Structure 1
Amino acid sequence: MTQIPRSALILGLAGVIPFAWGALTLLSDAASQWGMDILGPRFIGPYVQLSYGMVILSFMSGVLWGFATKAKDGQAATGYALSVIPALWAFFMTGGGPVSAGTNLIFGFLGLLVLDFAFWKWGLAPAWWMQLRVLLTGLVVLSLSVGVFL
């Protein structure tokens, strides 16, 4: 495997911050109160995790779409079709309350990892892609699990 570029790793880890912050505010009354006072209720607990999770799944659809542009013929059509799944999943599956939405986001991110693997295996993603995606997906799923299971 190829080493993850430093900028991609740093920016990817920074992208986990809202998920981790949401988990922290669920686990810590002090963090939750500080977040409520300084940031407002939209930016604590499951609210920040769920809204940001929808954004990130949609963003990742765009990333996969970009990978699909490198494919040819039928593989390109398949790549384009697969690339829209995370955004549609986020749109249709994140209602019904925080536990249901959080659970569906977990499944969405795990499904995205399967798509990441397919695009990587087809040679459309960078050599280091799966190292980064496994790390980030693990952190996101762990953070979302706080709201779902605790």
Structure 2
Amino acid sequence: MRGVPRAPLVLALAGLIPFIWGGLTSLNGDLQDWGRQELGSRFVGPYIQLFYGSVILSFMSGVLWGFATKTSGSKAATCYVLSVLPALWAFFMTGGGPVESGINLMYGFAGLLVLDAIFAYWRLTPTWWLRLRVLLTAIVLICLAVGVYL
């Protein structure tokens, strides 16, 4: 990840831990049992992915909002509207069961990547932003797919 400052890279990669943990505990029954016993059932399998994924989509709305402050006029209004979409998506689309919610989170993260690309195209993000977001989104989607499809 050349060009990505160390602090954002390390924090972003650390932010993948709940998604990866959820995927691992979905695949390994012994690990899931241990996690359920030590951490609680909310912190294993797809459940940690769903809760944390909703939190992260909401967090990313705030990040996009911050990028929107770099512009003005009608473009700013457009950016502010676009920035709240991930949080609204998480709020309205993750209330079903774990499979439906997981699929909706996958769509939410894919949509977020589209928004990241738009904001990058408008030069509102750091130059390294989209490279980092593509990597993170790919890993998140793989982990969510494990929780949904396996």
Tell me by how many angstroms 1:2 deviates.
6.4
Q: Deviations over 1:1-40 (max 9, x none)?
A: 9611111111001001000100000001121011011101
State the Cα RMSD in Å: 1.1
- Name 1:135's counterpart in structure 2: 135
Query: Within 2, Cα distance between the matches of 1:65 and 1:114?
Result: 15
TM-score, structure 2 normalization: 0.97
Alpha carbons 1:113, 1:137 under 8 Å: kept = yes
Query: Within 2, Cα distance between the matches of 1:73 and 1:19?
Result: 38
Query: Within 1, Cα distance between the matches of 2:36 and 2:21?
Result: 12
For 1:9-48, list aligned pairs within 5 A. Answer: 9-48=9-48
**Percentage of identical aligned residues:** 63
Indicate yes or no: 2:95 matched with 1:95. yes
- Name 1:117's counterpart in structure 2: 117
TM-score, structure 1 normalization: 0.97
Query: Within 2, Cα distance between the matches of 1:27 and 1:103?
Result: 18
Gaps of 5+ in 2: none
| Amino acid paired to 1:10 | V
SS at match of 2:118: helix
| Amino acid paired to 2:116 | D
Query: Within 1, Cα distance between the matches of 2:47 and 2:32?
Result: 12
Give the aligned length.
150
Q: Extract structure 1 runs of 4+ deviating beyond 6 A.
A: none
Gaps of 5+ in 1: none
For 1:75-90, list aligned pairs within 5 A. Answer: 75-90=75-90
